[in-house]
């Protein structure tokens, strides 16, 4: 933080600036701990479902009463309703990357601040993404089954087959793990939009746009590319050193807040190992990832001794989503499936308790008199 004028401080990237009070999640970057509304991620991932987590985050932010059962029913019904929007998909939408196509379809939904709008948005991400992916592969979209859980139905709409309990549990673990994470760039975006009084659909669309960048939710696809390029355990060190030597960043490593290993990486790795036991993912792939992680962390420590750069959530996300059948170009969209509930909770919290978010900038451009003398000189 440095002073730009009397009583005006600037912090590039807003690092360490507190911009909101929240009951939703707490990221302890020193201890490597994530609390999601009173529960530790370690206790939630692997046991809670997507519906449990939506209930946890949304409780108290809407007038309508909710229970896990009513939310499951409402989500199922909303999935069935929003499927009609798939009819609007045209060649222009299909030519877009999946996350942009998802954004285009979400933009068709009506805005609002009530539970119905929230449920519709959460249901729509789960329906639109699998349908878009299938259409992009010249396959027919599969209509939702309102009786299933959101995770089970998402996988069924993606693959056209009945997912195994381990696959459903793995997707639930993923969606729960990434549902909320303090004031990250997309969540902050959601709160900024909500602070103006715009509705939840506007907040979610803006947040999705912030999510897609490679420094935020756009990293897991490139993580898989990296593992494919490395190929074998023995090539890892040379590949990683050459990449860093070219000044490139290693995708899936480093985090603004965590100074230690991202706890979400452990939650996802545990889910991945359960899939490996079932045979859905090959053990050699997991082993290669472990070697790449170990070697990369050691090299990053050697190159940046003052800054702890460890594995982040995106690293094992890549392996998990790949094992569940999501194509790598869709990973950012799958992230949005889980994070939408967090964006909505933050938007409601901001709208109910916060003020208009309106920071200042410092003008460093020319003054009109300087500009005039410059023009005279020319």
Asked whether 85 and 102 are in contact (CB, 8 A), the reply is no
Question: How near is the Cβ of 335 to ligand ACO at its closest, in Å?
Answer: 7
What does the alpha-carbon distance between residue 234 and residue 291 come to, in Å, rounded to a whole number? 9
User: Which CB, 62 or 331, lies closer to ligand ACO?
Assistant: 331
Marked catalytic residue, from 51, 255, 293, 346: 255
Pick the binder of ligand ACO from 231, 307, 352, 373 (CB under 6 A): 307
Residues 256-275 within binding reach of ligand ACO (CB under 6 A): 256
Pick the binder of ligand ACO from 142, 194, 265, 313 (CB under 6 A): 313
Applying CB under 6 A, the site for ligand ACO has a residue count of: 19
What does the alpha-carbon distance between residue 268 and residue 318 come to, in Å, rounded to a whole number? 10
Question: How near is the Cβ of 63 to ligand ACO at its closest, in Å?
Answer: 32
**Long-range residue pairs from 58-66, CB within 8 A, at least 24 positions apart, any chain:** 58/115, 58/118, 58/341, 58/344, 58/345, 58/348, 61/345, 61/348, 61/349, 61/352, 62/114, 62/115, 62/118, 62/348, 63/114, 63/115, 64/114, 64/115, 66/115
User: Which CB, 44 or 313, lies closer to ligand ACO?
Assistant: 313
What does the alpha-carbon distance between residue 186 and residue 203 come to, in Å, rounded to a whole number? 9
Pick the binder of ligand ACO from 124, 251, 323, 337 (CB under 6 A): 251
User: Which CB, 82 or 250, lies closer to ligand ACO?
Assistant: 250
Examine residue 294 and tell whether it contacts ligand ACO (CB under 6 A). Answer: no
- Residue 361 has phi, psi (to 5 degrees) of -120, 160
* Residue 180: CA count within 13 A, CB half-sphere: 30
Q: Which residue, 9, 56, 62, is CA-closest to 36?
A: 56
Question: How near is the Cβ of 241 to ligand ACO at its closest, in Å?
Answer: 12
Question: How near is the Cβ of 253 to ligand ACO at its closest, in Å?
Answer: 4
314 among known catalytic residues: yes
Examine residue 250 and tell whether it contacts ligand ACO (CB under 6 A). Answer: yes
Residues 84-113 within binding reach of ligand ACO (CB under 6 A): none
Q: Find how far residue 243's CA is from the centre of its chain.
A: 25
As a whole number of Å, the end-to-end CA separation of the chain is 38
Pick the binder of ligand ACO from 41, 151, 309, 334 (CB under 6 A): 309
Marked catalytic residue, from 51, 293, 314, 349: 314
Question: How near is the Cβ of 280 to ligand ACO at its closest, in Å?
Answer: 24
Contacts of 80 (CB under 8 A, 6+ apart): 143, 144, 146
β-partners of residue 28 are 33
User: Which CB, 58 or 316, lies closer to ligand ACO?
Assistant: 316
> What Rg, from alpha-carbon coordinates, does the chain have?
22
Q: Which stretch binds ligand ACO (CB under 6 A): 51-59, 74-82, 163-171, 246-254?
A: 246-254
255 among known catalytic residues: yes
User: Which CB, 281 or 336, lies closer to ligand ACO?
Assistant: 336
Examine residue 304 and tell whether it contacts ligand ACO (CB under 6 A). Answer: yes
Pick the binder of ligand ACO from 254, 263, 333, 354 (CB under 6 A): 254
Q: Which residue, 94, 114, 91, is CA-closest to 102?
A: 94
User: Which CB, 303 or 372, lies closer to ligand ACO?
Assistant: 303
User: Which CB, 68 or 297, lies closer to ligand ACO?
Assistant: 297
Residues 162-221 within binding reach of ligand ACO (CB under 6 A): 184, 215-217, 219
User: Which CB, 226 or 324, lies closer to ligand ACO?
Assistant: 226
Pick the binder of ligand ACO from 253, 316, 331, 343 (CB under 6 A): 253
Catalytic residues: 255, 314
Which residues would be at the binding site for ligand ACO (CB under 6 A)? 184, 215-217, 219, 249-256, 304, 307, 309, 312-314
């Amino acid at each position: 933080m440095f002073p730009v004028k009397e009583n005006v401080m600037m912090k590039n990237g807003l690092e360490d600036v507190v911009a909101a009070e929240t009951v939703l999640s707490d990221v302890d970057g020193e201890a490597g701990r994530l609390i999601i509304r009173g529960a530790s991620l370690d206790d939630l991932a692997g046991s809670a479902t997507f519906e449990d987590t939506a209930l946890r985050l949304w409780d108290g932010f809407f007038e309508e009463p909710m229970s896990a059962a009513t939310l499951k029913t409402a989500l199922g019904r909303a999935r069935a309703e929003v499927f009609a929007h798939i009819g609007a998909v045209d060649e222009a939408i299909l030519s877009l990357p999946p996350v942009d196509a998802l954004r285009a379809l979400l933009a068709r939904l009506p805005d609002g601040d009530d539970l119905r709008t929230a449920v519709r948005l959460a249901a729509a991400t789960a329906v639109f993404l699998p349908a878009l992916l299938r259409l992009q592969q010249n396959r027919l979209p599969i209509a939702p089954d309102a009786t299933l859980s959101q995770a089970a139905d998402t996988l069924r709409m993606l693959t056209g087959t009945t997912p195994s309990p381990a696959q459903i549990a793995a997707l639930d673990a993923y969606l729960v793990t990434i549902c909320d994470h303090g004031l990250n760039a997309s969540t902050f975006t959601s709160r900024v939009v909500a602070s103006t009084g715009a509705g939840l659909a506007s907040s979610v669309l803006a947040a999705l746009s912030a999510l897609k960048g490679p420094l935020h939710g756009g990293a897991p696809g490139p993580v898989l590319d990296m593992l494919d390029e490395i190929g074998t355990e023995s090539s890892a060190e040379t590949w990683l050193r050459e990449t860093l030597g070219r000044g490139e960043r290693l995708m899936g490593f480093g985090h603004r807040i965590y100074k230690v290993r991202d706890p979400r990486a452990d939650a996802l790795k545990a889910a991945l190992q359960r899939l490996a036991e079932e045979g859905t993912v090959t053990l050699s792939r997991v082993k290669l990832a472990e070697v790449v992680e170990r070697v990369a962390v050691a090299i990053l420590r050697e190159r940046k001794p003052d800054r702890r750069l460890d594995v982040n959530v995106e690293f094992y996300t890549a392996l998990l989503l790949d094992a569940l059948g999501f194509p790598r170009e869709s990973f950012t969209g799958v992230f949005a499936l889980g994070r939408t509930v967090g964006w909505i909770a933050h938007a409601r919290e901001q709208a109910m308790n916060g003020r208009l978010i309106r920071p200042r900038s410092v003008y460093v451009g020319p003054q009109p008199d300087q500009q005039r003398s410059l023009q005279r000189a020319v």
